[in-house]
Structure 1
C-alpha cells in the first residue's frame, strides 16, 4: 500500500473500521463488508447512486471509469473532494453517504434452488 492508502483508515475513523484490499491495480475500501470507495493513482473515489451523485456533480467531480477493449466503462464512483481528506467529520459524512449507496445497491444473495416435488395430476 502507499502512504495515501495507509492514511485513509485514520481519516475515516469516525465512520468506523474500514479495510483496504488490492483490486485491479488499485485498492478497494470496505466498511462492514461492502465496498464504499476505490483508490486508483492515489486518487480517492466514493460510491454514488441516484441519492448522492448530485453532491459530486455539484462540485464538478469526475466519475471513475476505465477503457476496456476500446470502450469507456463508467463505474458508480466519483472522485472525492480533496477537502474531506483534512477533516474527519466531513470525511465521515461523505463516507457514510457512500456506504449508504453501497447498501442500496448491494446485490441480492442468490437463492438456492429448492427441490420441490412437482405435482402431476392425472386426469
Structure 2
C-alpha cells in the first residue's frame, strides 16, 4: 500500500480497527469484516445507502463511478468529506455511517486472511 490508503488506520483510529486491502487497482477499506470504503486514485469513497445519503447530498459529494462496456456504472460509495482527514472525531462519525450502511446492505463480513490460512489454501491447490 502507498499513499492515502496507508494513512487510513490512523485517520479512523477512533472508529476502531480499519484495514486497507489492495483490490481492483485501488484499496478496499474494511471495519469489522465489512467493506466501508474504497480508495481509487488517491480519493476516499465511503459506503452509502438511502439512510446515509442525505449526509452526502448536503455536501454535494460525488458518487464513485466507472466505465464498463461504454456505460457509466455508479456504485454505492460517495466521496468522503475532506475535513475528516484533520478531525478524528469527524472521521469516526463518517466511518460509523459507512459501517452502518454496510451492515444494512446485508453484506456478509469477510474473514480476515491470515498467513496460516493462505498457506493452507496453497497446500490444497498443490497437485
**TM superposition score normalised by structure 2:** 0.82
Alpha-carbon distance, 1:57 to partner: 1.0
Alpha-carbon distance, 1:3 to partner: 2.5
Say whether 1:74 aligns with 2:77. Answer: no
Q: Which residue of 2 aligns with 1:50?
A: 50
SS of the aligned residue for 1:54 comes to helix
Q: Distance in 1 between matches of 2:107 and 2:95?
A: 19
Cα 1:60–1:108, aligned 2, differ >3 Å: closer, same or farther?
same
Q: Which residue of 2 aligns with 1:118?
A: none
Alpha-carbon distance, 1:80 to partner: 0.2
Cα 1:108–1:42, aligned 2, differ >3 Å: closer, same or farther?
closer
Number of equivalent positions: 109
Q: Distance in 1 between matches of 2:107 and 2:30?
A: 15
Q: Distance in 2 between matches of 1:59 and 1:8?
A: 21
Q: Distance in 1 between matches of 2:63 and 2:4?
A: 20
Q: Distance in 2 between matches of 1:29 and 1:107?
A: 14
Q: Which residue of 1 aligns with 2:91?
A: 91
Give the structure with the larger helix fraction.
Answer: 2
Q: For each residue in 1:64-98, what CA deviation from the matched residue of structure 2 results, as whole angstroms up to 9, or x when unmatched?
A: 01000001110000000100111000000000000
**Stretches of structure 1 lacking an aligned partner (at least 5 in a row):** 110-123
Q: Distance in 2 between matches of 1:70 and 1:40?
A: 20
Q: For each residue in 1:20-66, what CA deviation from the matched residue of structure 2 results, as whole angstroms up to 9, or x when unmatched?
A: 11111100000111000000000000000011111111111100010
Runs of 4+ in 1 over 3 A off after TM superposition: none
Q: Distance in 1 between matches of 2:71 and 2:41?
A: 20
Aligned counterparts, 1:13-52, within 5 A: 13-52=13-52
